[in-house]
Chain A
Amino acid sequence: MVDPAAIPRRHRSTATRVIDAQAVIAFAETTMVQILNDVGTRVWNLIDGKRTVAEIAGAVRGQLEADGYKSIPAELDTDLDAFFGELGAQGLITWSGSES
């Protein structure tokens, strides 16, 4: 479980372009290229080393509502939790502001 107060920061070796609402992330540490879906891209764009996980989750929810998403999945928070976990496991983000 990711600490909602934790602050994710993009790994310094990433480079990102958003193409058709999908973030294309080139990661020099692994030389892998990762593609994110629409929601993942929204999250990635909000990772600025200042916002907490809770703030990012709230902002994403707000964006989806503003963009007219009729049904925001009930499991959004769970999905985001897993997503942050995956980003961390891949080394694409580092953490500050908590012990995570």
Chain B
Amino acid sequence: METTTYRDIITKSFVESRPLNAQWELTFKCNHLCGFCYNAPSGQRELTTAEIKRGLEKIRELGVLYITLTGGEAMVRPDFFEICGHVRHLDFALRVYSNGYLIDEEKARRLKEVDTFEIEISIHGARAETHDRLTGIRGSFDRLIAGVGHLRKQRIRTILKCPITRLNQDELREIWDIARFFECSMSFDPVIMPRDDGDRSPLALSATKEFLVRFFSDEFKVLRHGADVKKRDDMGTMTNCGTGKVSFTIDPYGNIFPCVAWRRKWANIKDVENLAELWKSSEVLKQVRWAAEQIPQTTLKQSQSGEFCSFCPGVAERQTGSPFKMYPQAEAVADARLTAYTTKQAAQAVNTANRCIKHA
């Protein structure tokens, strides 16, 4: 029955700039007060239910398969499940990003009823004191754990994700254990982003450089799903990332961006008539795709640790004014990867030498 793998489809969509996923920030309202949140509400009017439904119909014509509903906290919208229902009515696969706070037994059942494909829940600590400190809401950890339990009871695929901060960096193994207990997937993100308005205050919570080197060493290999740190294999041949290619992001006001991090508006979902045509002809999208293609051969080649760098042109532009300019967090994470890589290489060389001496 199968002639092509899903990976083939993704690769082809990437090469041909065909969007498979739209991420929709339904609201910037949130029931948490995370100090590292990148959202920067502007105070404009957020879209109505009808506007969102009409927007989804436009996206449907573009051929997108996945709609990811996020926020803020998407579930604080009273019409959240009505929107989910419309997502499914239009035959999209539904993904949800949430902090889990509002997911009680009934909400989990309703998420199941709308055939949620998967849900990603943010976890910020293995203990209430850490998680609650980072979210700014007492009791949020207990609600999160209960919510994950309800989701798993409904057999909804649940992914826990943890932005690594200096406050939780010593609890990652215990967080991993929580994911294993609930049979959830788990991912750790070593990069904290500045706010969308350029405010860099979230960066103060970034993990320490010393810890990042440890995180990319074999000591934490299991938490990286067994992946070795290796050089990027796309230097000079591929584009830096999928911005403006396989997905796009819509904010609560309807503005459409190439991705969640690169907030260069290329349309507004309320106004655009032919989204498919604009996806092809937009000068903004052409620019960001071009920029993404240049980065491996320019920015990354010029950086000592560029081969180990997960570079985001959106963050770079926000932070430095240029999508090509290296920014401190990317460099810090890349340096940590490089250090871990060279340390391991050196250790392996010593082992090889010792074996040779032994046999000599």
A residues with a Cβ closer than 8 A to B are 12-13, 15-17, 19-20, 22, 24, 26, 28, 31, 33-37, 40, 83, 86
Contact = CB atoms under 8 A, between A and B. Distances in A.
B12 interface: yes
Contact of A17 (B5, B8, B65, B115): B65
Contacts of B65: 15, 17, 24, 26
Given A28-B116, A31-B118, A35-B4, A19 B93 contact: no
A15 B95 CA distance: 12
Contacts of A83: 1
Given A20-B12, A24-B9, A26-B117, A15 B92 contact: yes
Interface in B41-75: 63-66
Given A34-B2, A36-B1, A19 B115 contact: no
A31 B157 contact: yes
A86 to B, nearest CB: 6
Contact of A19 (B5, B18, B88): B18
A19 B117 contact: no
Contacts of A40: 1
Interface of B: 1-6, 8-9, 12-13, 18, 20, 63-66, 88, 91-94, 115-118, 157
A20 B11 CA distance: 13
B245 to A, nearest CB: 14
Contacts of B93: 15, 26, 28
A15 B117 contact: yes
Nearest to B3: A37
A45 to B, nearest CB: 12
Nearest to A33: B6
Contacts of B6: 24, 33, 35
Nearest to B114: A28
Nearest to B64: A17
A15 B87 CA distance: 10
24 contacts: A12-B115, A15-B66, A15-B93, A15-B94, A15-B117, A16-B91, A17-B20, A17-B64, A17-B65, A19-B9, A19-B18, A20-B12, A22-B9, A24-B65, A28-B93, A28-B115, A35-B2, A35-B6, A35-B8, A36-B1, A36-B2, A36-B3, A37-B1, A37-B2
Contacts of B1: 34, 36-37, 40, 83, 86
A22 to B, nearest CB: 6
Nearest to B113: A12
A4 to B, nearest CB: 20
B3 A35 contact: yes
Contacts of A17: 20, 63-65
A19 B3 contact: no
B283 to A, nearest CB: 26
B16 to A, nearest CB: 9
Contacts of B66: 15, 26
Contacts of A26: 65-66, 93, 117
A34 B93 CA distance: 13
